[in-house]
Amino acid sequence: MPGGDEGRGGVSERGKLVAGLPPAGSQEHFDTLLDHPAARIERIASFGHASPPDFWYDQAGDEWVLLAAGRAELVLERADGDREALALEAGDWVFIQAHRRHRVESTSADAVWLAVHLRKA
């Protein structure tokens, strides 16, 4: 096929982001879609979940996250200690720098995220 992937073997993996979701449960569900030396990409199904009280993510790498379905509210901590609330709807994305503390304040019962965790070179 002209311009195709003959020499590279074509598409090796593919899927649908919001298809085949697990049933709602008591925990968020994390699926790694791609694990690469430069980044890890995961799908997160939230089903109305939120971060536990007083829990904050503080990750070593940068993260880019897209809310693919549903609604959610994130809270990010600013350098001065103040907090910034972000209301998100399907299609909204956020870039969170390494060590910027953040938490999921709320999600709708149908929230699905695409998270890209960047790794240091």
Check residue 107 and give its pLDDT: 97
Instruction: List the domain range (segments joined by +) for residue 46.
Output: 42-121
* Predicted local confidence at residue 3, as pLDDT: 46
Mean pLDDT by 10 residues, the chain (121 residues): 49 78 84 94 94 94 97 95 96 97 96 95 69
Residue 54 belongs to some domain of the structure: yes
How many domains does the chain contain in total? 1
Does any domain span residue 118? yes
Provide the CATH number for the domain around residue 87.
2.60.120.10
The dihedrals phi and psi of 49, each to the nearest 5 degrees, come to -80, 165
Distance CA 57, CA 64 (A): 14
pTM value is: 0.83
Contact 88, 71 (CB under 8 A): yes
